[in-house]
Amino acid sequence: MRGIPPKILIVDDNPENRAVFRNMLSPLGAELSEAGDGRDSFRNWYKNNEL
């Protein structure tokens, strides 16, 4: 990817599913954050509201 890497928040309660997405997106240069549920995703967004 060229330019500014996209920021992606991966939200899933299954760690294996998050790992699949992480493994697919990491090589593309995306800046990844993860959350295990909706509440964690909101906290993550609130803390890093640039996502």
Predicted local confidence at residue 23, as pLDDT: 97
Does residue 15 lie in a domain region? yes
Region label for 8, one of left (φ > 0), alpha (ψ between -120 and 50) or beta (otherwise): beta
Residue 1 forms part of a structural domain: no
- Domain assignment present for 2: no
**Gap between the Cα atoms of 40 and 51, Å rounded:** 14
Q: Is residue 11 part of a domain?
A: yes
Range(s) of the domain holding residue 18: 7-47
The number of domains in the chain is 1
Is residue 31 included in any domain, yes or no? Answer: yes
10 beta partners? 34
Amino acid occupying residue 12: D
What values do phi and psi take at 28, rounded to 5? Answer: -85, -5
pTM for this prediction: 0.78
Question: Is 40 part of a structural domain of the chain?
Answer: yes
Q: Which residues of the chain have pLDDT under 70?
A: 1, 50-51
